[in-house]
């Protein structure tokens, strides 16, 4: 991504824990002001179908 960088380095997060839920992940990541979480739902559905074992959560900051 041009002119952007990760705010902080985060470790890989496991998707294999019995208590892990992709739907909870959507609730944690989606901004409350946005009305349409469908793109994130599609991504998480794809991750679940691909049996993803871990993911990296990143938040980018625009380089000003």
10 Å CB burial of residue 62 (0-12, 13-18, 19+) is exposed
DSSP-derived letter for residue 55 is E
Residue 32 has pLDDT above 60, yes or no: no
- pLDDT per residue as tens digits for the range 45-63: 888 899 889 888 777 777 7
What residues does 60 pair with on adjacent strands? Answer: 6
DSSP-derived letter for residue 32 is T
DSSP-derived letter for residue 61 is E
- Give the rounded distance of the alpha carbon of 43 from its chain centre: 9
Q: Give me the mean pLDDT over the 28-55 stretch.
A: 79
């Amino acid at each position: 991504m041009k002119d952007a960088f990760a705010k902080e380095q985060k470790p890989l997060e496991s998707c294999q824990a019995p208590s892990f839920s992709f739907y909870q992940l959507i609730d944690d990541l989606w901004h409350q002001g946005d009305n349409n979480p469908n793109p994130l739902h599609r991504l998480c559905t794809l991750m679940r179908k691909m049996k993803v074992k871990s993911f990296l959560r990143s938040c980018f900051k625009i380089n000003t």
